[in-house]
Amino acid sequence: MAQDTVEGCVEPSSQVVYTVVDTRKNLYIGPATDLSAECYSSSNSGTPCTICNGELNMPGNCKIPTISGTFVTFTIEDCPIDNSLFPLILVIGGLGFLSVRRINLSIG
């Protein structure tokens, strides 16, 4: 299975990646990709980049103050629990079925 990659400018101390580049001003703008719910590995190039977390005005400047970030390439990976989720649900469902059946037998 091919692994997805996400490249872009990352805010300091967050997992939000801005992937759209305005090449005229070299600004990374939204929409952003939030990787907080993903399993990933990253390779940090260390190249500084600038994020505009808002709209650009007519000359192409950011309307709000920009954020300094770092260019990073993320590789999305399978989370270890993803491979165990189906058997886990099967076991929990089976235990629930047995406990409900025991309650019905002891009442009836």
Domain boundaries, the chain: 5-77, 82-108
Q: Place 3 in a pLDDT band, splitting at 50, 70 and 90.
A: low
Distance spanning both ends of the chain, measured CA to CA:
52
Give the pLDDT confidence of 35-63 residue by residue, as tens digits.
776 777 777 667 888 888 777 777 777 77
Above 80 in pLDDT, residue 69?
yes
d(CA 87, CA 77): 20
Nearest CA-CA partner of 17 in 77, 78, 73: 73
pTM of the entire predicted model: 0.58
Tokens of 73: 């390439």
